[in-house]
Amino acid sequence: MSEFIEHIAILIERGKVNKTSPYPPDLKEQDGADELARQAIDQGINPDEILAGCILGMDRIGEKFSQNKAFVPELLMAAKAMTSAMAHLKPFFQSGQVKRKGTFVVGTIAGDLHDIGKNLVAMVAEGGGFEVIDLGTDVSAEKYLAAIEEHPGCMVGMSALLTTTMVNMEAAIKSIKEKYPETKIIIGGAPVTQEFADKIGADGYSTDPKGAVALLNKNAA
């Protein structure tokens, strides 16, 4: 592993966005992920190394989160740092010089307006090297189908926080599988279980963002 990959991974894991960011306190007034990514590009470092550092940093904080060694605020700061670094990669993604692992269409299921869990999964997935299409909340089967049509070969994520809305996942999955049977669908949320996922025909289930990204990596391979 290059010294640069390790350096940017640490900044992202710690949630150091830029030089003016006061968080974390022990890195105050030091360059953050934003400056380091820009400097790396200016110095001719391969953009793939920047992406690798982002993936490594998000993987580390995701692992801590799944073990209850880090919490939502730390994960959000890491995602913010990751976003600041990834912004410098946009031209390389657009030109095709840097490749995404795949496309992930994600949303909170119809009838449900809760989005914190969905947002965390989307952030960690982006940091894991996927292009994320966030459909927001209260997402109907029709919205999922339109997004799949627009992004052929994508994977789909569905979230629900309420037992009254998780049942809507079954109808949405049925509609998707009827039209796009090869589409991989991952579900999650507080009331969701592996048993429920198996029952309604989902291809995967996870209790946390890191697990969701592991499923994405498995299906993208």
Residue 151 domain boundaries: 103-220
Same domain, residue pair 74 and 127: no
- Which helix (H) or strand (E) segment is 105 a member of? strand 103-108
Please compute, for residue 198, the number of CA atoms within 13 A of its CA located in the half-sphere on the CB side: 3
Of 157, 147, 165, 162, residue with least CA distance to 209: 157
Give the span between the Cα atoms of 101 and 71, in whole angstroms.
Answer: 26
Give the span between the Cα atoms of 114 and 158, in whole angstroms.
Answer: 12
Q: How many domains does the chain have?
A: 2
Same domain, residue pair 152 and 74: no
Taking residue 60's Cβ as centre, other Cβ atoms within 10 Å add up to 18
Same domain, residue pair 200 and 120: yes
Taking residue 137's Cβ as centre, other Cβ atoms within 10 Å add up to 17
Model pLDDT, residue 1: 58
Cis peptide before 91 (omega within 30 of 0): no
Q: What is the CATH number of the domain that holds 29?
A: 1.10.1240.10
- Residue type at 21? S
Q: What is the CATH number of the domain that holds 154?
A: 3.40.50.280
Same domain, residue pair 116 and 209: yes
* Each residue's pLDDT expressed in tens, for the chain with a length of 221 residues: 588 899 999 999 999 999 999 999 999 999 999 999 999 999 999 999 999 999 999 999 999 999 999 999 999 999 999 999 999 999 999 898 899 999 999 999 999 999 999 999 999 999 999 999 999 999 999 999 999 999 999 999 999 999 999 999 999 999 999 999 999 999 999 999 999 999 999 999 999 999 999 999 998 86
Gyration radius of the chain over CA positions: 18
Taking every pair of Cα atoms in the chain, the longest distance, rounded to a whole number of angstroms, is 54
